[in-house]
Amino acid sequence: MRMSLVHAPTLKETPKEAEVPSHALLLRAGFIRKEAAGIYSFLPLAVRVLKKIEAIVREELDRAGAQEVILPTVQPAELWMESQRWEKYGPELLRFKDRKQAEFCYAPTAEEVMVALVRRDVRSYRQLPVNLYQIANKFRDEIRPRAGLMRGREFVMKDAYSFDADEAGASRTYQAMYDAYVRIFERCGLAFRPVEADTGAIGGSRSHEFQVLADSGEDSIVSCPSCGYTANVEKAEIQRPTGPLGSTPGGKFTSVPTPGKKSIDDVAAFLSLPKDRILKSLYVETDKGAFLVLLRGDRELNEIKLRARTGATWVEFKAGEAKATADARTSDGRPAVSAALAFGYLGPVGFSRKDIRILADDSVRTLADFACGANVEGEHLISVELSDLGITETHDLGMAGHGDPCGRCGGEFAFFRGIEVGHVFFLGTRYSEPMGCRFLDKDGQERPMVMGCYGVGVSRIMAAAIEQNHDGQGIKWPLPLAPFEVAVIPLAADGTIAETADWLYGDLRAAGIDVVIDDRPSRAGEKFADADLIGFPIQVMVGKKGLEQGGVELKVRATGARDLVPLDAAVQRIRELVIAGRRGLRA
C-alpha cells in the first residue's frame, strides 16, 4: 500500500475529549472519528487492525471446533420475552418498533437468537455438540460511554455460543474455549490474566474474564500470591471473620453537632477520627425492599454481593442526597421509602423504620469506639460500640480491599488494574430451559441442552493493545495487530533514494510482508513523526547517508533500536524480524 493513498488524517494536537492514551492516539493517528457519544467510525488503518484481530480470533475458534455464522443485529422482542430479559435488561437495551408496531431491539448480545436458531434444527444427541460464533457490531446504551473504543455504545464483539448434551460435554467445551482465548490474547501480543468473574446480566454459574493489565483499566483484580486465586474484586471472596460480635458493653455514646458533614471523609476530618473508626450507613432501595447497609468507613459496598445476598435484580443508591421530601419518588416513579430520612446522617442506633432492613458487612466487626450518623440532620454519635447496633450477624458485602485475607487460603491479596477483553461463561440451562431448547438423549428422553457463551471485545482489544504499548511519540503496535508490519520511508521523492525504496517495497511485498511505503511528498521529519504516531513496528529509512555506506536504516518501534543494514541483506533481515514478531516475540 502507498501512504499517499491511505486515508489517515493525523492530528498535531491531542483532542481535548481524550480520556486515556488509547483514545487520544486513535484520534490523533487517524484511526477513528466520533459520530456521537460512544459511536465511532473506523478509518482504514483501524479496519486493518480489526481485520487482524478478527483473523486471529477466527483461526483459534475454528481450531477449537466453533463455526462462524452471521445473525441479525435487529432482534425480535418475542425472543427476549421468552428468556425474560425483555424486562430485566434495562435501559442498556436499545428497543424500537417497526412500521407495523412490532417490537425489536438492536443486539447487545445474542443468546436468544442463537437459541432460537439451534432449537429449530437440532433434535438429537447425535447432532451435539454445536458451537457457533459471529463477529458483529453490538449496541449497548451504556450509561457512561468513555475512553473511546474502551467503552463504546456501538462496538465490535465476537460472540460464541455452545450447546452440549450434558454438563461433562459442556465443561469440555468451556475448557476448549478457555484455551482458545489464552492463545488468542497471546497471539495478539498482550500481557493478560484470566480471572474468576461474576456472571452479571447474562447469568450462569462459572465464568472467567480475560483481563489486559493496564493502569487505565476500569476493573480491579485481586490475586493471592499464596494460592494463586485471581478474581475480579466484584467477585473476590474475602475470608469471613469469626468470633463474637460486639462484646464491649455499649450505652456510652453521645450526640455531637456535625453540620454539613455528610461524607465519610468530611466526618473523619471534622471529628479527627480515622475512617476505620466511622460506621458508613448506606440507604439502598431494591426490588426486594429497602435496606440500610452498614460498612466500616474505609470500605466500599459491592453491589453484586448485595444483589446476591438479597436476591434483588436492581438496586438504587440514595447515599449523600439532600433530605428527601415526603412525596419523593424513585427515578421510575415509585413512591420512595426514603422520604424524610436524614441523608448524610443515617445510622443504625435508634433507627426506627421497620420497613427498612439493616444489613451489616463483615468489616463492621472490627469497629470499636466509633462514630455513626444520629438520624438527625447535622448530628453524629460518637463513642458507639457494636453492642449498640442491635445486629446479630454480618455478611460478605464489601469490595475486597488491599491486604484483605484471601477467601480460599487466608493469604494477603495483591491488586492490579485490568481491561476486560474477553469473557467466558458456563451458562448451563439458563436459556435452554425457559426457551425450550431441547434434544432427545440416547434413551429417548427429552432434555435441555447445556450451554456456554463466550465474548471477545474485538474493538476494545485495539484500545487495550495501545494502553499497553505506547510512548510520548505514539503507538507501538504489537506486530500481529499493526495496520502494516513494515513501513519503508524514503527520505527524498526521486532519484536513487526513491528507486531503492520502491525496489525494497516490491521485494518485501513479494516476501509476503504487509508493507506500506511512505511516498508522500512530505518532509522527512513529518514522515518519521507519523510513522511513530501510527506505530509501524518496523521502519526502514532509505536516505542519502545510508546509501552512501551501502545500506538502509532499520528501526524497531517497540525498543527504539536502530541499525544500518547492507542493502542486499535488508529483505532477509526484515523478514526475520517480522517472523519473530508474528510469533508474538518482542523484537
Binding residues (CB under 6 A) for ligand ATP: these are 109, 140, 142, 151-152, 155, 157, 200, 202, 420-423, 455, 457, 459-460
Q: Least distance in Å: CB of 555 to ligand ATP?
A: 32
Q: Least distance in Å: CB of 149 to ligand ATP?
A: 6
60: cell is 483459534
Which one, 460 or 557, has the nearer CB to ligand ATP?
Answer: 460
Q: Helices 44-63 & 458-468, crossing angle to 10 degrees?
A: 110
Peptide bond between residue 21 and the one before it cis (omega within 30 degrees of 0): no
Burial (Cβ within 10 Å: 0-12, 13-18, ≥19) of residue 399: buried
Q: Least distance in Å: CB of 145 to ligand ATP?
A: 7
Q: Least distance in Å: CB of 477 to ligand ATP?
A: 19
Question: How far, in Å, CA of 212 to CA of 306, rounded?
Answer: 27
Q: Least distance in Å: CB of 92 to ligand ATP?
A: 9
Who contacts 446 (Cβ-Cβ below 8 Å, separation ≥6)? 438, 439, 440
Q: Least distance in Å: CB of 39 to ligand ATP?
A: 11
Which one, 381 or 424, has the nearer CB to ligand ATP?
Answer: 424
Which one, 455 or 490, has the nearer CB to ligand ATP?
Answer: 455
Which one, 182 or 328, has the nearer CB to ligand ATP?
Answer: 182
Which one, 135 or 364, has the nearer CB to ligand ATP?
Answer: 135
Who contacts 429 (Cβ-Cβ below 8 Å, separation ≥6)? 448, 449, 450, 451
Q: Least distance in Å: CB of 94 to ligand ATP?
A: 12
Phi–psi pair at 455, nearest 5 degrees = -115, 145
Q: Helices 21-28 & 458-468, crossing angle to 10 degrees?
A: 100
Q: Least distance in Å: CB of 152 to ligand ATP?
A: 4
Task: Tell me the three-class secondary structure of 519-564, residue by residue.
Answer: CCCCCHHHHHHHHHHHCCCEEEEECHHHHHCCEEEEEECCCCCEEE
Which one, 204 or 347, has the nearer CB to ligand ATP?
Answer: 204
Which one, 116 or 461, has the nearer CB to ligand ATP?
Answer: 461
Which one, 119 or 423, has the nearer CB to ligand ATP?
Answer: 423
Edge-first strand listing for the sheet containing 95-97? 74-76, 103-106, 95-97
Burial (Cβ within 10 Å: 0-12, 13-18, ≥19) of residue 236: buried
Residue nearest to ligand ATP (CB): 457
Q: Least distance in Å: CB of 208 to ligand ATP?
A: 11
Q: Least distance in Å: CB of 401 to ligand ATP?
A: 20
Q: Is 127 helix (H, G, I), strand (E, B) or coil?
A: helix
Q: Is 201 helix (H, G, I), strand (E, B) or coil?
A: helix
DSSP string, 42-98: EPHHHHHHHHHHHHHHHHHHHHTT-EE----SEEEHHHHHHTTHHHHSGGGS-EEE-
Which one, 208 or 318, has the nearer CB to ligand ATP?
Answer: 208
Which one, 61 or 487, has the nearer CB to ligand ATP?
Answer: 61
Q: Least distance in Å: CB of 541 to ligand ATP?
A: 37
196: cell is 474468576
Which one, 187 or 261, has the nearer CB to ligand ATP?
Answer: 187
Q: Is 251 helix (H, G, I), strand (E, B) or coil?
A: coil
- Our CA dihedral for 273, 284, 206, 77, rounded to 10 degrees, sits at -150
Question: How far, in Å, CA of 379 to CA of 389, rounded?
Answer: 17
439 with 124: CB under 8 angstroms?
Answer: yes
